[in-house]
Amino acid sequence: MTDTAVPPRKRLFIRTWGCQMNVYDSGRMADVLAPLGYGPAETPEEADMVILNTCHIREKAAEKVFSDLGRLRVMKEAKAEAGQKMVLAVAGCVAQAEGKEITARAPWVDIVLGPQTYHRLPEMVARASRAAGAQIDTDFPVEQKFDHLPEPAASQGPVAFLTIQEGCDKFCSFCVVPYTRGAEFSRPVAAILAEAKALVAGGAREIALLGQNVNAWHGEAPDGSTWNLTRLLYALAELADLPRIRYTTSHPRDMDEGLIRAHGAIPQLMPFLHLPVQSGSDRVLAAMNRGHKADLFLRICDELREARPDMALSSDFIVGHPGETAEDHAATMKLVERVGFALAYSFKYSQRPGTPAAGQPFQVAEDVKDARLQELQALLRQQQDGFNEDCVGRECEVLFTNPGRHPGQVMGRTPWLQPLHAEAPLSLIGTTARVRVTVRHPNSLRATLLDQKELALA
């Protein structure tokens, strides 16, 4: 085949909101479109196709998407006037929840697809080019999706994400995930291990396992048995050239004793765990349908630190859930003080149409939610700063991932997921090196290399 027979390369721009699972999904959408000739674009203006990969968790998520679509309409019309075409797609959880609303309010959108249907993107692009009107696909064929995805086309770099579980059966009162991602589904063992080996071969030195309830994963093994997450972690730890493993996001109800012990038994399993609790009040936890009490969460935290003394914990909090009282908020503050978090995410409760909490009475006033959130965030920030300050003078292994902002500087992550920079050669990217933390900045750490031989590589 001559060079003139190769179709011209098209440009693809994907804007991603939300969790790391969306980041993973965006990468896989790029993979399925690569055979159609789509390569990456730096900006939407230069793209032949734009995908908005959306998240429904944050407040006013849909309105932010429509705002973006308004700007993209202008770009699409300008391209049309120049005789060019822009395919515009909305993917992810907002697309799943509000597919018909998107096409009604933004008829210039060509494709609307849910999180479980992006393996069908090539077919939808072809249909969109042949027919007028938007192509909508918001089914829940989660099993089929993973069966039809190609091998990842490009390396993710030193840190890679691997989805092993999707969907949720928990039905928390405030959450849209069961309605946008569907029921819990666990990928089989062989597929996960094959993808993990490919990621390591592509340069990954840290793999983060992803799932809406990742510790609920129960995958079928080649011999027909069922593995749990603990057994999968031990298998991943046997892979050569994989010094780091993480998993997120977990649910307290699925933290069993074996998984807790694994944190002390598997050196590759990093001493940092994100474990959302949402509230410290048993009454609010029951109203949220979380299925656990504050005491269970506290016991898990204690057992994790007993298994791995340097364990750092992160969590999620929602303030102002319908019916939350001042006493309930005080219980949350007490739990935070008791645990001590290295990092945490906190938000005001916001109504999600279709979720049980949206129609509940006793909605908390906005000014009350604001005050409670500010008080909680002040305590969480104090704890985060304290944890980072305690790291000054500490020695640890850092995985260097990319160049820093300044010449001669390299960025990396500590075992506790803190961003860190050091004066070091770029040749360290993709490797681990031992450092001593010297300075705490507001959102990062500075360190010096301990092995001066590394500096000789510069």
**Which residue carries 């005789």 as its tokens?**
83
Q: Are residues 49 and 86 in contact, defined by beta-carbon separation less than 8 angstroms?
A: yes
For helices 20-33 and 121-130, what crossing angle results, to 10°? 60
State yes or no: 301 annotated in a binding site: no
**Which residue carries 């944190």 as its tokens?**
263
Q: Are residues 63 and 129 in contact, defined by beta-carbon separation less than 8 angstroms?
A: no
Say how many CA atoms lie within 13 Å of 280 toward its Cβ: 18
Q: Are residues 259 and 300 in contact, defined by beta-carbon separation less than 8 angstroms?
A: no
State yes or no: 55 annotated in a binding site: yes
- SS3 (DSSP) at 368: helix
Tell me which residue of 430, 423, 428 sits closest to 448, measured CA to CA. Answer: 423
Q: How many CB atoms lie within 10 A of CB 458?
A: 11
State yes or no: 93 annotated in a binding site: yes
The encoded tokens of residue 457 equal 């590589």
Tell me which residue of 25, 164, 191, 47 sits closest to 110, measured CA to CA. Answer: 47
Q: Are residues 291 and 170 in contact, defined by beta-carbon separation less than 8 angstroms?
A: yes
Alpha carbon 380 to chain centroid distance? 21
- C-alpha 278/C-alpha 347 separation (Å) is 9
Q: What is the largest CA-CA distance in the chain?
A: 74
- For 398, counting Cβ atoms within 10 Å of its Cβ (0-12 exposed, 13-18 middle, 19+ buried), the class is buried
The encoded tokens of residue 51 equal 């995908």
Q: Alpha helix (H) ranges present in 107-203?
A: 121-130, 142-148, 177-180, 189-201
Q: How many CB atoms lie within 10 A of CB 85?
A: 14
Residues pairing with 182 in the sheet:
none
Residue positions forming the annotated binding site for [4Fe-4S] cluster: 19, 55, 93, 168, 172, 175
User: Residues at the annotated binding site?
Assistant: 19, 55, 93, 168, 172, 175
